[in-house]
Amino acid sequence: MNQILDLRGVPCPMNYVHTKLRLEEMSEGEVLEVFLDKGEPFSNVSRSIKEEGHEIIKVDRSEEFCVIVVKKGGGTNG
């Protein structure tokens, strides 16, 4: 079962902080679905996830929000 984190309405950079903390609790290879507002939150959080060495496997979007499907990577490069 994928984990889910609903960060709609949470501004930058707190949305990323929540994502980072959740990913730290998970083990490598586990999948997290992050719900984000469109625009900056979507762009910024996905870029940071990539830079931390996780894999974005899919992105879904509706009119108002996006869902980033992330596979936890082996380690952070931060």
Partner 1 sequence: MTIDVNFLKQGGFIKQRHPDYFLVRVRVLAGDLKANQLKKLSEISEKYGAGWVHLSVRQGVEIPNVRIEDFQAVVKELEEVDLSTGACGPRARVILACQGSSICPYGLVNTKEMAKKLDKRIYGRGDLPHKFKVGICGCPNSCTKPQENDLGFMGTAQPVFDEVEGACIACGLCAEACRFGAITLDDEGRPHIDLSKCISDGRCIHACPTGAIRAAKIGWRVFVGGRFGYKPQLGIPIMEFVPDDEVVDLAEKILLAYKNLGKKGERLRDVIERMGVDEFIKEAGVMKVESDT
Chain positions contacting partner 1, by CB under 8 A: 38-39, 42-43, 46-51, 55-59, 61
Q: How far is CA 13 from the centre of its chain?
A: 12
User: In the complex, what is the shortest distance from the CB of residue 65 to partner 1, in angstroms, rounded to a whole number?
Assistant: 13
Residues 6+ apart with CB under 8 A from 25: none
Q: Tell the smallest beta-carbon distance from residue 9 to partner 1 (Å).
A: 19
| Active-site position among 6, 7, 9, 12 | 12
At residue 68, the 3 state secondary structure works out as strand
Residue number with CB closer to partner 1 (19 or 46): 46
Q: Is position 12 annotated as part of the catalytic site?
A: yes
* Whether the Cβ atoms of residue 18 and residue 4 lie closer than 8 Å to each other: no
